[in-house]
Structure 1
Amino acid sequence: MKSLSDDAYHLDAVDKEIIYMLMDNAKTSLALISSHVGISTTAVHQRIKKLEQAGVIENSVSFL
């Protein structure tokens, strides 16, 4: 069994802003996130994938 510290993922300010934007609207485009946080769309995509792999982002759900 892994300890919590083994799975810890350090969130920097850019990661947090990406998460906040996705919490507000899970369908936010990479281009919009990119322009808001000041990094390339490729970098945004890579960060989102890392957040998913770390379990920080699990899925996106729409509530009607």
Structure 2
Amino acid sequence: GESAFHAMMQGFGWAKNPIIKRIDQMDERVPITLIYGSRSWVDNSAGEIIRQKRAKSYVNIQ
């Protein structure tokens, strides 16, 4: 997990090619669940953007 994370991030935790830019190109039948920790430093606003971009799809944000 750590090796994959470091390979996909740029600098300090920034994705090299964020999926949010192309999430609407995914098959709408693919369900998405986003899980955020209660004490995480990760911004959860991306989850709402994904939900808006995939209005016809199942998007669960926890």
TM-score range, shorter chain: under 0.3
Structure 1 or 2: more strand by fraction? 2
TM-score (norm 1): 0.22
Greater relative contact order (Cα 8 A, min sep 6): structure 1 or 2?
2
Structure 1 or 2: more helix by fraction? 1
